[in-house]
Amino acid sequence: MVPIRGIMKTLEFNGRLVPRIGQGTWHIGDSSATRPAEIAALRRGIELGMTLIDTAEMYGAGRSELLVGEAIAPLRHRVQLVSKVLPSNASLDGTMKACEDSLKRLQVETIDLYLLHWRGRHLLRDTVAAFQRLAEQGKIRAWGVSNFDVDDMEELFAVPGGSSCAANQVLYNPEHRGIEYDLLPWCHRHNVTVMAYSPLGQAGSLLSSAPICKIAGKHRVAPAQVALAWCLCRPLLAIPKSGSIQHVEENAAADGLELDGEDLAAIDSSHPAPKRKRPLAML
């Protein structure tokens, strides 16, 4: 069943309640032919309560941010907006300029959460200093990182102001469970919210997974709902890509799906939990 009136389960983040299922926009905005459908899908997601929207300056070289800006224009007061700075731009001055450019494309005055997309050549202390300045100027409400492993997080927290990191966005789904061994517990201990990108697998690979399809049949739901419900067994946020109204509605419906012990055991059998440290997986 699709949630009504935009009521969904939430997680406290940075002093605010945010929906545990958001909307990702990687590869959205790339084609003018699909633009109207993608805007309609994002707006439908907001209507259903998926008010956290994730984008980045990298996505489509800014085209995703332009599309998101258009989609949320009449609904900005309802949206928690996330964007990211490329590591090549993450010097002190470069981060400031990149944020200004994102704000213009998004047609907003403030980004709710601004992330360093992955580690690059610029010093973390310079990126953090830029984040702090942007927060003081009211251009961002919070900042965080993406694709940071435990050693990266420890280095970040050793930088002046680094412990103010609010979130770490990483690849997480049944096919990529490495973060369960150390990164997920580390982030929870340090009050860093984990955001799971590609929760349906690379290019939706989990939608054809035999155990997930079997569980979907058992509950009479779509495989995407099973994959998302599995992610949400952990205290984190998930941001599946939302490209069509049908997929948005399937994603939203995962909010009400409860997997039982038999379901979880079947997924564990096919996609076992890590028993040792694994390199952080990235897309």
Would you state the structure tokens that stand for residue 189, as one six-digit string? 């201990």
- As separate numbers, helices (DSSP H) first and strands (DSSP E) second, the chain gives 10, 10
Long-range (24+ apart) CB contacts under 8 A made by 268-275 are: 269/211, 270/174, 270/209, 270/210, 270/211, 271/174, 271/175, 271/177, 271/209, 271/211, 272/177, 273/177, 273/180, 273/181, 274/177, 274/178, 274/180, 274/181, 275/181
Question: Which one is catalytic: 59, 114, 172, 197?
Answer: 59
Closest to 92 (Cα-Cα) out of 116, 112, 111, 108: 116
Contact 208, 182 (CB under 8 A): no
Residue 181 annotated as catalytic: no
User: Active-site residue numbers?
Assistant: 59
